[in-house]
Amino acid sequence: MKDLPTISQFQVFKNRKTILKNPLPFHRANFEKYGDIFRVRVGFRKAVIFTRDATIIKHILQKQHKKYEKSELQTVDLAKYIGHGILTSNGEHWRKHRRMVQPAFHKKKLRGLLGIMKQAVDSELKRIEPGVTQDVFPLMGDLAFQVVAQALFSRYDIQQSMEELQDYTERNQKMLIREMRQPYLKWWFILSGKIKKHLDLAEQGKIKKHLDLAEQGRNILNSIIEERITSGEQKDDLLDMLLNATYEDGKHMPRRQLIDEVLILFTAGHETTANALSFALHLLAKHPDIQNKVLKEVENTDLDSDDIMQCLSELTYTKQCIEEALRLYPPAYVIDRTAISDDIVKGQSFTKGSLVLMSIYELHRSSAFWDAPEEFNPDRFDISLKRDYSNYYYPFGAGPRMCVGNNFAMYEMIITIAQIIKKFQISTDLKAVEVNPLISLKPMSVPVCFELR
């Protein structure tokens, strides 16, 4: 590890404003200067390893995944707001709950949710005002939130509760980002799991208030769950599937754990999909020729048919557009892992305790693997070309910790893009979206004009 190119604390300090606003240019400059792996000094005897090396990333996420676990950035700092579910846990706790949640997202289970999903999408798209340019990011945020809410609860009479829950989760995320963006080095201290040592009493008080908000959000979910159990109704939605899931000994999830899993599905599920849809709509609005190809594919597709899944499977070019948007703007733009034992890959040593940040954003834009990597070209995902991108394309992560809701998200995005392009011609004057790398990769603003076809 001593042989790795190293960025000093002084260099970090010198670039602190850029890093705190948007670390991606700092990452790019250093990858271009030092190669596919380097380390950054973040404190006394503390360093973070950055890599975009495809072999190392595959090794950590898949081949030797048991030697690595999620860092305290997720298991401590994020978990204090959204609980200890499958996104924010490690070890046996993660394994047993992943086994319980996974069946709810099998394709045959999702088939029954597609009608609910489409109904929620259509309802939200009514808010689009024809002939007006509007920021699609908040629109897609509300759409994705409602899709998750309806798929979980199959209820349309809890709008106010859902809006309150959405408000709590968004405010808590902003608070977490404030923690990450405190003056010099706090962003880096969080990555090493040491933030609490750098909080003053006033800041701790603010966090306490937001922890109270998180508890209020859990109370909302607890009330909805209690109503379902008391009613005795079977809705065959995600909540039913989670309520019926059992451990190996036949016991059901404790209420607190169930609430944590539901809260994580809300937070992670709606946010990453909203981000991806916003970027995809911007790219389609910028490329009318590609948009017209999508229109030709979707204009005669009836998503009100009895077999929505079959219809979605036929929208191959629409899916390619989404896959290409996810390549350019992966929601999980950096994946963190901590080595829990010594390891060696490609002659590089990772000692126990090493914090590794894998840049999916840089990997997805590497000219070593992608022709014209900065261009939006959905044809690169044409299945007839039989190209295997599995070694360097990770829009939903990889290995055992691959996103449990990847199929859910893809179906939702195909339905949304199909319904929008079928009804509207979209355009934009914005040449490039300004990205906002927070917990996930967000756009700052995505102005799009919608004209009725």
Least confident range of 34-48, 106-120, 416-430: 34-48
Does residue 181 surpass a pLDDT of 50? no
For residue range 378-421, what is the model confidence (pLDDT) as tens digits?
999 999 888 889 999 999 999 999 999 999 999 999 999 999 99
Give the relative orientation of helices 114-125 and 406-423 as an angle to the nearest 10 degrees.
40
Residue among 253, 257, 302, 265 at smallest CA distance from 150? 265
Would you state the pLDDT for residue 189? 44
Rounded alpha-carbon distances, angstroms, from residue 10 to 7, 14, 15, 19, 103: 8, 6, 9, 13, 49
Q: Is pLDDT larger for residue 42 or for residue 48?
A: 48
Ordered by start, the domain boundaries in the chain are 99-181+190-330+394-452
**Residue 253 DSSP label:** P
Residue among 33, 448, 225 at smallest CA distance from 25? 33
Map tokens 């990597």 to a residue.
Answer: 373
Would you state the pLDDT for residue 178? 60
In this prediction, residues 428-440 reach a mean pLDDT of 91
Give the pLDDT band of residue 182 (cuts 50, 70, 90): very low
Most confident of 46-50, 161-165, 179-183, 280-284: 280-284
Would you state the pLDDT for residue 308? 92
Q: Is the dihedral of CA 278, 407, 143, 269 positive or negative?
A: negative
Does residue 168 surpass a pLDDT of 60? yes
Would you state the pLDDT for residue 156? 65
Would you state the pLDDT for residue 56? 96
Least confident range of 171-175, 220-224, 332-336, 443-447: 171-175
Residue among 388, 346, 356 at smallest CA distance from 65? 356
In this prediction, residues 261-273 reach a mean pLDDT of 85
CB 55 within 8 A of CB 346: yes
Please give the Cα distance from 98 to 103 (Å, whole number): 9
Least confident range of 3-12, 235-244, 315-324, 370-379: 3-12
Q: Is pLDDT larger for residue 75 or for residue 284?
A: 284
Residue among 61, 85, 447 at smallest CA distance from 259? 85
For residue range 331-376, what is the model confidence (pLDDT) as tens digits?
999 999 999 999 999 988 899 999 999 999 999 999 999 999 999 9
In this prediction, residues 266-290 reach a mean pLDDT of 93
Map tokens 């609860």 to a residue.
Answer: 153
CA 65 to chain CA centroid, nearest Å: 20
Does residue 207 surpass a pLDDT of 60? no
In this prediction, residues 315-327 reach a mean pLDDT of 97
Least confident range of 43-52, 223-232, 428-437: 43-52
User: Residue 423: left (phi > 0), alpha (psi -120 to 50), or beta?
Assistant: alpha
Q: Is pLDDT larger for residue 9 or for residue 112?
A: 112
Q: Structure tokens of 108?
A: 């045959």
CA dihedral 176, 178, 179, 180 (to 10 degrees): 90
Q: How far apart are the first and last CA of the chain?
A: 59
Does residue 286 surpass a pLDDT of 90? yes
Most confident of 76-85, 170-179, 254-263, 416-425: 416-425
Give the pLDDT band of residue 197 (cuts 50, 70, 90): very low
For the chain, give the percent of residues with pLDDT over 90.
Answer: 53
The mean pLDDT value of the chain amounts to: 87
In this prediction, residues 98-123 reach a mean pLDDT of 89
Q: Is pLDDT larger for residue 2 or for residue 294?
A: 294
Most confident of 63-72, 101-110, 218-227: 63-72
Would you state the pLDDT for residue 221? 86
In this prediction, residues 36-40 reach a mean pLDDT of 92
In this prediction, residues 39-57 reach a mean pLDDT of 86
Please give the Cα distance from 44 to 8 (Å, whole number): 11
Would you state the pLDDT for residue 213? 76
Rounded alpha-carbon distances, angstroms, from residue 208 to 176, 181, 191, 201, 377: 12, 18, 21, 10, 46
Does residue 95 surpass a pLDDT of 90? yes
Q: Which CATH superfamily is domain 99-181+190-330+394-452 in?
A: Cytochrome P450 (1.10.630.10)
